[in-house]
Structure 1
Amino acid sequence: MRTVRFHTHGGPEVLRIDDVPLPEPTGGEVLIEIDAVGVTLPVVRLTRGQSDVPLPHTPGGDIVGRVRGIGPGVTGRRVGERVAGLAFSGAYAEAVTVPAAMMTAVPDDVDDLAALALVRGGQVALGVLRAGGFGEGDSVLVTAAAGGIGHLAVQLAAALGAGRVTAAVGDAAKAGFAREQGADHVVTYDQEDWGDPVDLVLDGVGGTVQDAGLRALAPLGRLVAFNGAGGTVDTNELRMRGLSVIGFAMAHLAARRRDTYERRQRELWQLYRDGRLNPVVHEAMPLDRAADAHRLLEARANRGKVVLLPR
């Protein structure tokens, strides 16, 4: 089968198509024939050596496809079933083996691209809102608000009753897109004043943007960090202003709070059916354009989700 791998670290140019044997599911795994795979910034950073993985390496990602094989010990899955989930490696390919615990069934009335966006981006967007103790009427600020997760976080905050939603973006050209998602106010990262203080910041950028997000909080405000870039926090500042900083990683939720994960996925499907949540796909590209997809994300040029189509 075809797969995209990198044999050395570097930029998008290190990605190449290889032919490899079809994987076999082992205990607790299922084999998924992939219809679509999402491209994420943490994976883009991975090719540049920001994490230690054995080489050659096929990047992971959120996937949607059909079950083609079932490993020993797996129950509740059937061959031919349409599913979506997370593959921590091997996703840039025509097929991948995934732990059955990381998969969820896709309803017939949810199309592939919407399912792909909601199974990770939607779960993260809803997860960070809940992790931050979001309540109806809260004011919310979302960084990376035009990205694959950020635009869904803006939509969800508005749909679930936020008193005010502020979108923070890196480029003023994305302001119109952010407003279309439900933002009441849009700021750019380089602005000194981000407007009135907010109750909750959802930060998908880190670094200096995370610092600005902390400054944007009202007393007793909360910041939820779900980025891979990191940043430092002055705990004395947190104490003096009564702030909270929470980290969110979706993999832990999916693996350790499975009932919560499944309940939230059902909620996301219903919000989609009701027209209150509308995932945006910036572009869907064939597998052999994986390098172009990475360039798009590195340039922060996307508005919504970037997708690869293996077949």
Structure 2
Amino acid sequence: MRRVRFEVNGGPEVLFVEDVAAPAPGPGELLVRVDAVGVTLPVVRKVREGSGPYPLGGELAGTVTEIGEGVTAFAPGDRVTGLCFSHGYADIAVLHEAMASHIPDHASAVEAVALVRSGLVARGAYEAARPLPGESVLVTAAASAVGQIALQLAKAGGASRVVAAVSSPEKADFVREMGADEVAVYGDESWGEPVDIVLDGVGGDLLTPAVKALAPGGRLVAFSSGGGTVQAYDLLVGAKSVIGFQMALIARNQPELYAAWRDELWDLHRAGTIRAAVHAELPLEEAARAHELIDSRRNLGKVVLVTGTA
């Protein structure tokens, strides 16, 4: 089987395809023939900043071919999606049963990796803000896989005004299609009228203007791995709040809520209320190009690797 390997040989990171033996499922694990892999910013950052070699994990979707001892919720032939912590950029991968879920008949493997994990992060971040009907919402990284779903969820949730903050004006048409009423560009002196909620998927230097964009009493939900610092005084003068959100804690500590949000996303997708935009479907051999698309902020929606094994 093929899988993508990451190594650093005293220079830039290298992603290349190698032929290896297929893994075997252990207790509580599923062996999955992979059809699609969702490329995520945390994995891209890990490759850019790491020393390697180590497995490239992430979101994947495919068909169960074998189950390990103790697996009860899945059987060979089931279509599944889930988060892989070992080698996910591959023709065949191992998923733990607890991290897997069934793909409904109305969705493809590509739609599954574009919707589920990104949608869960968007859903959870929005919920963490405790939105009230009629409040206004601003989403940073609004053209990203998570951001474009967050725009749609805010609109469907009754937000009076949805603002998309993006890195370039060229993304304006896309985010408006995803539900944005207004568009702000990083570096602009003003992002428009203040908002009640900011969902921030960027972090770093963008935290300061994001806090500034909040109305008095507003809440910023930080769910990015980009770090950054907020000045306490900037919060104090406007009675503003910053809330940290991490999906892994929900998945680990509140599995029922995690499952309920996932089912809700599928229902909204089936009804046509939300869709998961896909920027590109690339073969495994072009994993480096997929990473570059995300690292350069040129993607409009999800970037997906496809294996061609289906």
TM-score of the pair, normalised by structure 1: 0.95
Partners of 1:90 and 1:136 lie apart in 2 by: 42
What is the alpha-carbon distance in structure 2 between the residues aligned to residue 110 and residue 301 of structure 1?
26
Give the match for residue 173 of structure 2. 176
The answer for the alignment partner of 1:270 in structure 2 is: 267
Provide, for residues 128-155 of structure 1, a one-character-per-residue CA deviation record: whole Å limited to 9, x for no partner: 1001112221100000001111111111
- Give the Å deviation of 1:56: 2.4
Which amino acid is the alignment partner of residue 46 of structure 2? L
Equivalent residue number for residue 69 of structure 1 = 66
Distance between the aligned counterparts of 1:27 and 1:235, measured in 2? 48
Please, which moves more after superposition, 2-11 or 238-247?
Answer: 2-11
Could you list the per-position Cα deviations for residues 86-122 of structure 1 after superposition, in whole angstroms to 9, with x for gaps in the alignment? 1133111111112211111111112222211111111
Match of 2:19 in 1: 19
Matched residues in 1 for 2:31 and 2:253: separation?
Answer: 22
> Residue in 2 aligned with 1:218?
215
Say yes or no: does 1:137 pair with 2:134.
yes
Whole-angstrom CA distance in 1 between matches of 2:82 and 2:123: 16
Secondary structure at the counterpart of residue 14 of structure 1: strand
State the 1:12 CA deviation. 7.5
> Does structure 1 residue 188 correspond to structure 2 residue 185?
yes
2:49 match: secondary structure: coil
Q: Which residue of 2 aligns with 1:36?
A: 36
User: Is 1:93–2:95 an aligned residue pair?
Assistant: no
User: Contact 1:17 / 1:288 at 8 angstroms: preserved in 2?
Assistant: yes
Residues 9 and 49 in structure 1, CA contact (< 8 A), matched pair in contact too: no
Would you say the 8 A contact 2:37–2:113 is kept in 1? yes
Instruction: State whether structure 2 residue 57 is matched by structure 1 residue 57.
Output: no
> Which 5+ residue runs of structure 1 have no aligned equivalent?
none
1:278-289 alignment runs, 5 A limit: 278-289=275-286
Contact in 2 for aligned 1:283/1:307 (Cα 8 Å): yes
Runs of 4+ in structure 1 deviating by more than 6 angstroms, as ranges, are 9-12
In the comparison of the two structures, how many residue pairs are matched?
308
CA contact (8 A) 2:59 2:117 kept: yes
Q: What's the CA shift for 1:174? A: 0.4
Matched residues in 2 for 1:129 and 1:9: separation?
41
Q: TM-score, normalised by structure 2?
A: 0.95
Percent identity between the two aligned chains: 50
Is the contact made by 2:115 and 2:275 (CA closer than 8 Å) also made in structure 1?
Answer: no
1:89/1:242 Cα in 2 relative to 1: closer, same or farther (>3 Å)? farther
Distance (Å, rounded) in 1 between the aligned partners of 2:54 and 2:10: 12
1:290 is the counterpart of 2:287:
yes
Does residue 1:248 correspond to 2:245, yes or no?
Answer: yes
CA RMSD of superposed structures (Å) = 1.6
Equivalent residues of 1:145, 1:169 under 8 A apart: yes
Q: Which residue pairs with 1:81 in the alignment?
A: 78
The corresponding residue for 1:8 is 8
Distance in 1, matches of 2:132 and 2:12, equals: 41
8 Å CA contact 1:12, 1:294 repeated in 2? no
Quickly say closer, same or farther: Cα 1:240–1:73, change in 2 above 3 A: farther
CA distance in 1, matches of 2:135, 2:10: 42
1-structure distance, mates of 2:63, 2:159 = 37
Equivalent residue, structure 2, for 1:122: 119
Q: What code does the residue aligned with 2:14 have?
A: V
SS at 2:57's partner residue? strand
Q: Residue deviations 1:141-182, cap 9 Å, x none?
A: 000001111111111111111110000000111011111111
Question: SS of the counterpart of 2:221?
Answer: strand
Q: Bigger CA drift: 158-167 or 237-246?
A: 237-246
Query: 1:213 corresponds to which letter in structure 2?
Result: A
Q: Secondary structure at the match of 1:141?
A: strand
CA contact (8 A) 1:9 1:47 kept: no
Match in the other structure for 2:163: 166
Deviation at 1:243, TM superposition (A): 1.8
Where does residue 307 of structure 2 map in the other structure? 310
Taking a change above 3 Å as real, the CA distance of residues 22 and 119 of structure 1, as seen in their structure-2 partners, is same
Q: CA deviation at 1:10?
A: 8.3
Is 1:47–2:44 an aligned residue pair?
Answer: no
